[in-house]
Chains A and B, each alone.
Chain A
Amino acid sequence: MSVDAVEVRGVSKVFNAGRPDSVDALVDIDLTIEPGSFVSLIGPSGCGKSTLLRLIANLLEPTTGDVLVNGKPASRARLDQDYGMAFQQAGLFDWRSVAKNVELPLELKGWSKADRRARALEMLHLVKLDEFAEHLPWQLSGGMQQRVAIARALASHPPLLLMDEPFGALDEMTREHMQGELLRICGETSSTVVFVTHSIPEAVYLSTQVVVMSPRPGRITGRIGVGLGRDRDEATREAADFFATITEVREALRGLPGPADIAQGVEDR
Chain B
Amino acid sequence: MKELFRGRLSSAVWFVLALAAAAALWELYKLVGPPDGGTVFGWKLLPRANDRAMPHVTDMLARYARPERRGQGGSIALVVLQGAWFTLRLALAGFALGAIVGLGLAVLMARFRVVERGLLPYLVLSQTVPLIALAPLVVSWGGKLHIGGFEWPRWLSAAVLGAFLAFFPVAVGTLKGLTSTPPAALELMASYAASWRQTLFTLRFPSAVPYMMPAFRLAATASVIGVVVAEISTGLAGGIGRLIIEYAREATSDPAKVYTAVFGAAALGLVITGAVALVDLVTMRNRPGEASR
Contacts and interface: CB of A to CB of B under 8 A. Distances in A.
B206 A85 contact: no
B203 interface: yes
Interface string B170-188: 0000000000001011011
Interface stretch (A5-13, A25-33, A39-47, A102-110): A102-110
Interface in B147-178: none
Interface in B196-214: 198, 202-203, 206-207, 209
Contact of B191 (A78, A93, A94, A95): A78
A83 B288 CA distance: 33
Interface residues of A, number: 20
A140 to B, nearest CB: 12
A79 B188 contact: no
Interface residues of B, number: 22
Contacts, number: 50
B290 interface: yes
B191 A108 contact: no
A155 to B, nearest CB: 10
Interface in A66-102: 78-79, 81, 83, 85, 87, 89, 91, 93-95
A167 to B, nearest CB: 16
11 contacts: A79-B193, A91-B182, A91-B185, A94-B289, A95-B286, A107-B202, A108-B189, A108-B193, A108-B198, A109-B192, A138-B289
A145 B217 CA distance: 33
Contact of A108 (B187, B202, B209): B202
B195 to A, nearest CB: 9
A102 to B, nearest CB: 13
A57 interface: yes
A93 B209 CA distance: 13
B188 A87 contact: yes
Contact of B188 (A81, A85, A109, A138): A85
Contacts of B194: 108
Contact of A105 (B185, B192, B206): B192
A170 interface: no
Given A104-B202, A107-B202, A81 B193 contact: yes
A79 B289 CA distance: 33
A244 interface: no
Contacts of A104: 192, 202
B6 interface: no
A126 interface: no
B102 to A, nearest CB: 22
A59 B190 contact: yes
Instruction: Please indicate which of the listed interface residues A87, A107, A108, A109 has the most CB atoms of chain B within 10 Å of its own CB.
Output: A108
B144 interface: no
B191 A91 contact: no
Contacts of A85: 188, 191
Closest 7 CB pairs between A and B? A85-B191, A95-B206, A79-B193, A108-B192, A108-B194, A91-B184, A105-B192
B70 interface: no
A35 to B, nearest CB: 20
A89 B184 contact: yes
A136 interface: yes
Contacts of A83: 191
Contacts of A78: 191, 193
A259 B251 CA distance: 87
A57 B207 CA distance: 24
B117 interface: no
Nearest to B184: A91
Nearest to A90: B184
Nearest to A75: B193
B287 interface: yes
A94 B289 CA distance: 9
Contacts of B190: 59
Given A59-B187, A59-B191, A136-B286, A93 B198 contact: no
A94 B193 CA distance: 21
A83 B191 CA distance: 8
A104 B206 CA distance: 14
Interface in B250-293: 286-290
B288 A138 contact: yes
B192 A81 contact: yes
Nearest to B209: A95
B184 A87 contact: yes
A95 B184 contact: no
A87 B187 contact: yes
A107 B199 CA distance: 12
Contacts of A59: 187, 190-191
